[in-house]
Amino acid sequence: MIDETKKILSSADLRVTATTVRVPVYHGHSESVNVELNSPFELSDVRALFESSPGLIVQDDVKNSVYPMAITAEDKDEVFVGRIRRDFSVENGLNLWVVADNIRKGAATNAVQIAQELIRQWESA
């Protein structure tokens, strides 16, 4: 997870702490993600950014027990995010709960989306 994150974000110096927890689900990765941003932010801006991002579904209503769960992400292409809150352990910290079906999003859907983007770039060249 650590090496993959650095590779995906093209940041060899990125400081990452990761813990893997195995639980009995058919498909799915669930991650508690802590991020330290470069500048102050408003949670409403973060939420608006997530809500406007294609392929991302915000499920974040703690009062009504609405948050991402592996069972609800199963067989879906989208990535689900919730529990969006400040991480007070670092300056400009953000904490999220992120869930996705790793078979669909992690493999099949990503391959299709990469192919679509390559075709789009080729056609516009």
Q: What is the CATH number of domain 26-124?
A: 3.30.360.10
Q: Which residue has the tokens 């009995």?
A: 24
Gap between the Cα atoms of 33 and 92, Å rounded: 14
DSSP state of 78: S
Q: What is the pLDDT of residue 107?
A: 67
Prediction pTM value: 0.74
The SS3 assignment for 72 reads: helix
Gap between the Cα atoms of 7 and 21, Å rounded: 22
Q: Which two tokens mark 11?
A: 């940041």
The phi, psi pair for 104, rounded to 5°, reads -80, -60
Gap between the Cα atoms of 41 and 86, Å rounded: 10
Task: Kindly list the averaged pLDDT for each block of 10 residues, start to end, along the chain of length 125.
Answer: 78 77 76 90 94 93 92 90 92 92 75 76 81
Contacts of 71 (CB under 8 A, 6+ apart): 25, 28
Gap between the Cα atoms of 9 and 11, Å rounded: 5
Q: What is the pLDDT of residue 99?
A: 92
